[in-house]
Chains A and B, each alone.
Chain A
Amino acid sequence: MTEPAVQFKHDARRLSADLRHRQIILTAMGNYEVARDQRKGAFQDWQSARQMAAETKWDAINHLDRHLEQLVRNLEARGTKVHWAATDQQARDIILGILRAKKARIIVKSKAMTSEEIHLNEAMEQAGYEVVESDLGEFIVQLREEPPYHIVFPAMHLTRDDIKDVFQRKLGDAPSNNPEELTMVARRVLREKYLQADVGITGANFAIAETGMLSITENEGNARLTAALSRTMITLLGIEKVLPRLEDLALFLPMLAAMGTGQAITCYNTLYGGPRQPGESDGPGEYHVVLLDNHRTALLADAEQRDSLHCIRCGACLNACPIFRNVGGHTYGTTYCGPIGAVITPNLRGLNEWRHLSYASSLCGACTETCPVKINLHHHLLQNRRNASRRRPSWWQRIAFQVFAPVANKPALWALVTRMGRLGQKAHSLVKGGRLDPAYAWTKTRDLPPVAKQSFKEWWRARR
Chain B
Amino acid sequence: MKVTLFIPCFVDLFYPQVGISMVRILEKLGHTVVCPEGPACCGQPAFNTGYWEESREVAIKVMESLQGAEVVVIASGSCGAMMKVFYPELFAGTKYETQARELAPKCYEFSAFLVNKLGVTNLGARFQHKVTFHDGCHGLRELNNKRPPRELMAKVHGLELVEMGAAETCCGFGGTFSAKFPMISTAMGDVKCASALDTSAEYIVSCDSSCLMHLQGLIDRQHKPIKTIHLAEILVQQ
For B142, the chain A residues whose CB sits under 8 A away are 365
Q: Does A126 contact B (CB under 8 A)?
A: no
**Of the candidates A326, A390, A393, A407, which one forms a contact with B191 in the assembled complex, judged by CB atoms under 8 Å apart?**
A326
For B118, the chain A residues whose CB sits under 8 A away are none
Return 27 A-B CB contacts under 8 Å, by A number.
A12-B184, A13-B183, A16-B183, A359-B180, A360-B177, A361-B177, A362-B170, A362-B175, A364-B170, A366-B137, A368-B141, A379-B89, A382-B48, A385-B48, A388-B50, A402-B54, A407-B40, A409-B57, A418-B12, A418-B13, A441-B180, A449-B217, A452-B16, A454-B16, A456-B16, A457-B7, A459-B16
For A364, the chain B residues whose CB sits under 8 A away are 137, 141, 169-170, 174
1/0 contact trace for A435-456 toward B, CB 8 Å? 0000001101111111110111
The complex places the Cα of A360 from the Cα of B182 at a distance, in Å, of 10
The complex places the Cα of A458 from the Cα of B38 at a distance, in Å, of 13
For A406, the chain B residues whose CB sits under 8 A away are 57
Is chain B's binding surface mostly helix, strand, loop or mixed? helix
Are A385 and B217 in contact, with the CB atoms below 8 A? no
Residue of B nearest to A355 (CB): B50
Are B184 and A360 in contact, with the CB atoms below 8 A? yes
The complex places the Cα of A440 from the Cα of B184 at a distance, in Å, of 15
Known: A390-B50, A441-B179. 14 other contacts (CB 8 A): A12-B184, A16-B184, A323-B184, A359-B49, A360-B177, A363-B48, A365-B138, A389-B49, A407-B40, A409-B61, A446-B214, A448-B217, A455-B16, A457-B40
Kindly name the residue among A387, A390, A408 whose own CB sees the greatest number of chain B CB atoms within 10 A: A408
Q: Does A209 contact B (CB under 8 A)?
A: no
**Of the candidates B52, B141, B184, which one forms a contact with A366 in the assembled complex, judged by CB atoms under 8 Å apart?**
B141
The complex places the Cα of A418 from the Cα of B172 at a distance, in Å, of 26
Are B58 and A449 in contact, with the CB atoms below 8 A? no
- The residues in B between 168 and 205 inclusive whose CB is less than 8 angstroms from any CB of A are 168-170, 172-175, 177-189, 191
Kindly name the residue among B20, B40, B89, B175 whose own CB sees the greatest number of chain A CB atoms within 10 A: B40
Are A449 and B45 in contact, with the CB atoms below 8 A? no
For A16, the chain B residues whose CB sits under 8 A away are 183-184, 186-187
Are A445 and B182 in contact, with the CB atoms below 8 A? yes
For A26, the chain B residues whose CB sits under 8 A away are 191
Q: Which interface class (under 10, 10 to 19, 20 to 34, 35 or more) fits B?
A: 35 or more
The complex places the Cα of A365 from the Cα of B174 at a distance, in Å, of 11
Are B169 and A322 in contact, with the CB atoms below 8 A? yes
For A362, the chain B residues whose CB sits under 8 A away are 137, 170, 172-175, 177-178, 185, 188
1/0 contact trace for A17-58 toward B, CB 8 Å? 100001000100000000000000000000000000000000
For A385, the chain B residues whose CB sits under 8 A away are 48-50
For B7, the chain A residues whose CB sits under 8 A away are 456-457
Are A414 and B40 in contact, with the CB atoms below 8 A? yes
**Of the candidates B49, B58, B172, which one forms a contact with A322 in the assembled complex, judged by CB atoms under 8 Å apart?**
B172
**Of the candidates A418, A446, A454, A457, which one forms a contact with B218 in the assembled complex, judged by CB atoms under 8 Å apart?**
A446
Instruction: Return B93 CB to nearest CB of chain A, in Å.
Output: 12
Q: Does B167 contact A (CB under 8 A)?
A: no
Q: Which residues of B contact A (CB under 8 A)?
A: 7, 9, 11-17, 19-20, 35, 37-41, 43, 45-52, 54-55, 57-58, 61, 89, 137-138, 141-142, 168-170, 172-175, 177-189, 191, 213-214, 216-218, 220-221
Are B137 and A456 in contact, with the CB atoms below 8 A? no
- The residues in A between 365 and 396 inclusive whose CB is less than 8 angstroms from any CB of B are 365-366, 368-369, 379, 382, 384-390, 393
Q: Does A254 contact B (CB under 8 A)?
A: no
For B169, the chain A residues whose CB sits under 8 A away are 322, 364, 366
Instruction: Return A307 CB to nearest CB of chain B, in Å.
Output: 15
Is chain A's binding surface mostly helix, strand, loop or mixed? helix
**Of the candidates B19, B184, B214, which one forms a contact with A327 in the assembled complex, judged by CB atoms under 8 Å apart?**
B184
Instruction: Return A444 CB to nearest CB of chain B, in Å.
Output: 6
The complex places the Cα of A385 from the Cα of B175 at a distance, in Å, of 14
Are A445 and B221 in contact, with the CB atoms below 8 A? yes
**Would A369 and B181 be within 8 Å (CB), given that A401-B46, A414-B40 are in contact?**
no
The complex places the Cα of A402 from the Cα of B49 at a distance, in Å, of 13
The 5 closest A-B pairs by CB, nearest first: A362-B174, A446-B217, A385-B50, A389-B50, A364-B170
The complex places the Cα of A393 from the Cα of B50 at a distance, in Å, of 9
**Would A401 and B13 be within 8 Å (CB), given that A362-B172, A442-B217, A447-B221 are in contact?**
no
The complex places the Cα of A327 from the Cα of B183 at a distance, in Å, of 10
The complex places the Cα of A398 from the Cα of B55 at a distance, in Å, of 11
Instruction: Return B62 CB to nearest CB of chain A, in Å.
Output: 9
The complex places the Cα of A418 from the Cα of B178 at a distance, in Å, of 22
The complex places the Cα of A323 from the Cα of B50 at a distance, in Å, of 20
For A460, the chain B residues whose CB sits under 8 A away are 35
For A389, the chain B residues whose CB sits under 8 A away are 49-52
Residue of A nearest to B211 (CB): A362
Instruction: Return B173 CB to nearest CB of chain A, in Å.
Output: 7
Are A363 and B174 in contact, with the CB atoms below 8 A? yes
Instruction: Return A386 CB to nearest CB of chain B, in Å.
Output: 5
Are B179 and A442 in contact, with the CB atoms below 8 A? yes
Are A405 and B54 in contact, with the CB atoms below 8 A? yes
For A441, the chain B residues whose CB sits under 8 A away are 178-180, 182
**Would A369 and B217 be within 8 Å (CB), given that A418-B13, A456-B16 are in contact?**
no
For B47, the chain A residues whose CB sits under 8 A away are 382
Q: Does A221 contact B (CB under 8 A)?
A: no
Instruction: Return A190 CB to nearest CB of chain B, in Å.
Output: 37
The complex places the Cα of A205 from the Cα of B216 at a distance, in Å, of 45
Instruction: Return B138 CB to nearest CB of chain A, in Å.
Output: 8
Are A408 and B58 in contact, with the CB atoms below 8 A? yes
- The residues in A between 218 and 232 inclusive whose CB is less than 8 angstroms from any CB of B are none
**Of the candidates B39, B45, B141, which one forms a contact with A365 in the assembled complex, judged by CB atoms under 8 Å apart?**
B141
